[in-house]
């Protein structure tokens, strides 16, 4: 997985990128060389979560432009996060597949894709088809988007608007209180939050003797759900006699 930060110098002319969300690195490297000849650098993401994170990073940069996003539908479960990707980016989203399906086509377009289609017969035809979609996509005519409604950290993605949580590409089912606690901790990552602060923010009530036990019980459930999805996705760190902190590294307690 390439890190686009390695290319982001912030100097010189505008750098153009595309993101390919796919598992097949060999196929990606082949097309990357063809796009490089057109002055566009390719970045591969293994999952939708990684692709969304990279896309946001590029679009936040004043020195870089995201040209398009390509999702290889043959090996990526893209549909659950497609709407999030659409809401968080201002660039064409193209779905490529070797097995065209009418129902999937309609669902993809309804969830924010700008194109859904089968691979063309030759690489040159594929590139021509992509450029036709990109050229017809009037990016500058779109209204300014509101501030980002997602938080990402490592394998974790939190959609504030949809109130969904993904670990890599696996959705984690949290209750309202669990979601609010995770969101509060992640938004304040690196800061130790007391039991009282968490209880007041989530429950809207002043801290009492039983509040710490309630918070602890909910944290325990959140940790289990996250680690059930991925053992390396527990970022909630216990700060003894204080409360909890969302760490920059997975918790190893």
pLDDT at 10: 40
Rounded to whole angstroms, the Cα distance separating 24 from 44 reads 9
Cβ neighbours, 10 Å, residue 1:
10
Rounded to whole angstroms, the Cα distance separating 165 from 148 reads 15
List CB contacts of 16: < 8 A, sequence separation 6 or more.
Answer: 39, 40, 41, 64, 65, 67
Q: By C-alpha distance, which of 71, 70, 51, 47 is closest to 59? A: 51
List CB contacts of 64: < 8 A, sequence separation 6 or more.
Answer: 4, 7, 8, 14, 15, 16, 17, 58
pLDDT at 144: 53
pLDDT at 174: 95
pLDDT at 168: 85
The first and second tokens of residue 217, run together, are 């019980």
Going along the chain from its start, the domains and CATH numbers come out as 4-141 (3.40.50.2300), 150-246 (1.10.10.10)
User: Cα–Cα–Cα angle for 3, 52, 219, nearest 5°?
Assistant: 100
Whether 17 contacts 66, CB under 8 Å: yes
Q: pLDDT tens, position by position, for the chain (253 residues)?
A: 444 444 444 434 689 999 999 999 999 999 999 999 999 999 999 999 999 999 999 988 888 999 999 999 998 999 999 999 998 888 899 999 998 999 999 999 999 999 999 988 898 899 998 988 888 775 444 545 566 788 888 889 999 888 999 998 899 999 999 999 999 999 999 899 999 999 999 998 887 878 889 999 999 999 999 999 998 888 999 999 889 999 877 765 5
- pTM of the prediction? 0.67
pLDDT at 251: 67
């Amino acid at each position: 997985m390439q890190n686009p930060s390695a290319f982001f110098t912030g100097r010189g002319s505008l750098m153009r990128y595309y993101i390919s969300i796919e598992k097949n690195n060999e196929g990606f490297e082949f097309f990357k060389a063809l796009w490089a000849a057109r002055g566009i650098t390719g970045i591969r993401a293994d999952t939708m979560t990684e692709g969304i994170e990279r896309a946001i990073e590029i679009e936040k940069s004043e020195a870089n432009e995201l040209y398009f996003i390509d999702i290889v539908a043959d090996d990526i479960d893209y549909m659950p996060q497609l709407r999030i990707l659409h809401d968080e980016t201002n660039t064409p989203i193209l779905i490529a597949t070797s097995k065209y399906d009418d129902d999937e086509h309609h669902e993809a377009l309804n969830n924010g894709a700008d194109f859904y289609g089968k691979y063309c017969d030759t690489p040159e035809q594929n590139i021509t088809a992509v450029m036709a979609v990109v050229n017809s996509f009037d990016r500058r005519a779109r209204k300014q988007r509101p501030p980002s409604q997602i938080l990402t950290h490592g394998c974790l993605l939190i959609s504030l608007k949809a109130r969904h949580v993904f670990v890599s590409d696996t959705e984690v089912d949290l209750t309202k209180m669990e979601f609010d606690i995770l969101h509060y901790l992640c938004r304040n990552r690196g800061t130790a939050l007391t039991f009282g602060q968490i209880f007041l923010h989530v429950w809207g009530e002043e801290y009492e003797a039983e509040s710490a036990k309630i918070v602890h019980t909910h944290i325990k459930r959140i940790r289990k759900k996250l680690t059930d999805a991925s053992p390396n996705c527990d970022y909630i760190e216990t700060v003894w006699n204080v409360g909890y902190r969302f760490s920059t590294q997975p918790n190893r307690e």
